[in-house]
Structure 1
Amino acid sequence: MSSERALISALQAYNTFTVTSAPFSDYVHLIHPGDFGSWLGMLNADQIGVPPRAPLMGLTAEVSGATLLIGDADGAILVDPGRYTPMPLQSRPPLAIVITHAHRDHFDGLSDALQSWKDVPVYLSEITRTLLTDSLQRDNANALARELSERAILVAPDATLTVGRFRMTAYDAGHCLGATAVHLEDAETGQGILIAGEFSRRKVGSVCHKIPQLSVNTLFVEAIHADDHLPTGVNGQNNVEFTSKLDAAYAQGKTIVIAAASLAEMQEVYAICALHQRRGGLPEYPLYVGNLRPVMKSALKHLERVEPWDLDVTFTNSIQEEAINILTCAFEGQTDDGHFSSAYAQDSANEDILWLYPERYSALKPEKAALYRVFTHASLCEIGEMVLVQKPANVCLYSGGCHGSVLAGFLARSGFALHDFSGAAGSFHF
């Protein structure tokens, strides 16, 4: 059974660095987010090792929500054509479209992109293609699914491909099944761009990033939690409130039904519940996953050698009593039958059921459901660790609600060239 390291204070972190000379990658994610600013205040620029300003690569980055457009007059790469893509795209097609993972805010603009540029290839991982194709087919976008299949170029972890002036290498990003981080190395100068995007240092749903230290001129990272005290970089600390609700329901003999709003959220909820059971919690309650389509079940096979997925997952199409049931739920206008909402409509009067609903969709919460929180994005400290390990000349924070965050303030004070679009769209040259 795996064990997690404990969170450390600002003073402990400072002593770890100054006394033992531990590399940033060994401990920054362990700092309590509330102490992150204090720890940074103890360090000076020499200790942090802010790199000198690198020569310009002659590129422009357009940032809008989760979408990036990076390039010059000779061509560009469009990363994650999401729902927020009112960008001044060049009249010529981009060299490539890259999709980092199969979440809607990262591909909702794919239809427009494929219709606008008839021959542009789409680079993505095999799992992302499988999940994205399934999502498109469920939306009755079969023609778009076929178009994607014809244009897809699959990128395997650690594999390198040539795209225009760049050598493109993909790395596992964590965050969710199939998620990819992308490193673009200029073939002429050797300078690199790292699109870490949505990643996780800790295991989320039992997957974490495998991004090595690279040559990075400019780092792009989504800053969803760059000003929050949760999550921390230690999952056990994040999930105490959630597992306490499970334990209380178990003590009352209640059936537990948990809504999960995405495959990534289902991964994380399942991992939390299964690991909690392995550590002695809810010992007599079976754990079920319900309403998953065959494509999703197939995708989960990629985790079968990873704890806690190394044991068979039990699937069900109905609520099992005196058990934990994890059901996908309808959200953002979806109305599929068989989801959490259908089960709730049928059994909401049953007082022996604890209904749990994700807090991020609290506006849609059924009346008798309680809210729960799990975290699938990088924490403030995990993002800080990524910056300090890669030591880029430029840092771009984007696609969060935290413009002017603790992290942004630190980066600016420490001498990093900061481009903070976490609360808005914009562009910059590098």
Structure 2
Amino acid sequence: MENFWSNIILEIGSFQITGAQLTIASLQTLGLLVLDWLILFWLLRKLFRRFDVEQVRRRQVRRRFQPLFLYLVILTWMWTCKVDYTLYQDKMRWIGISTLIQALMFWQIAFIVDLILGRVILRNFFQTQGNLKNPILGGGSSGLQRTLTTSNRYIKYAVYVITLMAMLSLFQTDFTFFEGKVGKGNYALRISNVLIASLVILMAQLLIWLIIHLFLANFYRRRSINIGSQFAFNQLVNYLIYFIAGMIALHFVGVNITVIAGGAVALLVGVGIGLQQTFNDFFSGILLLFERSVEVGDWVEIDGLVGKVRRIGPRTSVVQTRDNRSVIVPNSRLVINNVTNWSHGDDVARFTVEVGVAYGSDTQMVKELLIAAAKQHPKVLENPPVNVRMVLFGDSSLDFEVYFWSNEFMGIEDVKSDIRLEIDQKFREHKIEIPFTQTDVWVRNWDTKK
């Protein structure tokens, strides 16, 4: 038995394999077979049932594991039997056959992680949200699809950036983009610095996604927080995390943050005058997010422009008008100018329809008909009730105003038009005249001879 362990059983070129090495490699291969079976037929099966994965996707995931298992078996035999060929060697690095196989294994692991995270777990989460009556992710089916696509893209980027970093470490290689003297010191920008900085930004985006869509969204739903407040707080989270991530990324690319801070002060002094309005709009946007005098979803009127606030950005806001046009409004106009917020603190507003009737009309009947014309419209709320006032003895008419409440801000002009048509119909049925302006012209010094 001792001779078997120490005897050379197999020779491959200049490499010799003993009985002990052959036995250990065989046992390790058996262990990998058991591990492969557990992953494919126990762990993945539970994962597929948990996330309700379709058959096509299941076969796709299983196929990804087979090359990985093959790479592991080959590496196990090479390392145990100490069989490897040198492909490249210098003072700094050594690259062999096992190095290439490890690189292939890293890429296969990246494929698997990307597939499971993005195509299985994340897709199931978004499908579940799409089936909910009140999903924590807004925007409808198209909005969910856009968010799924964006989230998948960031996960893919993060996975492959990590894989590239592992490959650089594996091959003991780092490319230099720039190296030289900057200011009083030497500066070098390498690909590893760029990859780490990119990973920091990607992880910041994923962190924002987790905080907003998983933690804060449930909090908003439990507390019934309105969409404007949600947007404001989400934007503040975005600004804070991106600022911190940006500083960390600059640190990893070798930029001295204290120098940037000092230079930024001098730069702001020089450029501040030219960009005064831009900074005004930027800080107005921050003020809007904190003060919440205007929020996303509010109906506002700015200098005669009526529309719904769709987005409040760092410098400008987007207001969608009734005719579905998007108007870009500087944030400073929402802070400095007089802005009528129709839905501030409430989702309903009062509207008015004016009408005049001829002198001598039955004013009590006119009032009853006006109330009936407004109340029968489906977009007019029952509470608060419709109210009618006689507001003026006009030159040629008795002027009335109909006051009604509605939450139909986008199509309110159509509602008013329907009410006016109904008023005209009821007045015709009850012989009530809507007068038109009449003017008597008196002519002096008329030449009667002509």
TM bucket, shorter chain: under 0.3
Higher relative contact order, chain-length normalized (CA < 8 Å, sep 6+): 1
What TM-score comes out, normalization by structure 2 length?
0.19
Which protein has the bigger strand share?
1
What TM-score comes out, normalization by structure 1 length?
0.20
